[in-house]
Amino acid sequence: MGRPPCFDKIGVKKGPWTPEEDIILVSYIQEHGPGNWIAVPTNTGLLRCSKSCRLRWTNYLRPGISRGNFTDQEEEKIIHLQALLGNR
């Protein structure tokens, strides 16, 4: 029971993304915007599943993602909110 898969598992590439795949994904998102992720592998020719494309964009390629350690101000804010709100 449940939903059928949105892709055929045969021929789907797994493992690390190549810089060429990143460029294809970024250029497609810049042109069409992030939205219908099921259509991305079909329209771009990437041999990846739609979930992999979505996660790659969301976690690594999206503009505005800050990488690295927290700043002192961010760390203080996290500690303050943890003390105020607890584990919610």
Segment 3-60, tens digit of pLDDT: 666 556 667 888 999 999 999 999 999 999 988 899 999 999 999 999 999 999 999 9
Contact status, residue 28 vs residue 71, Cβ threshold 8 Å: no
Full-model pTM: 0.71
Looking at this protein, which amino acid is placed at residue 28? Y
DSSP-based three-state secondary structure for 71 = coil
Architecture of domain 19-85 in CATH? Orthogonal Bundle (1.10)
What span, in angstroms and rounded, lies between the C-alpha atoms of 13 and 4? 19
* 73 vs 77: CA distance, rounded Å: 6
Angle (CA) 38-26-14 rounded to 5° is 60
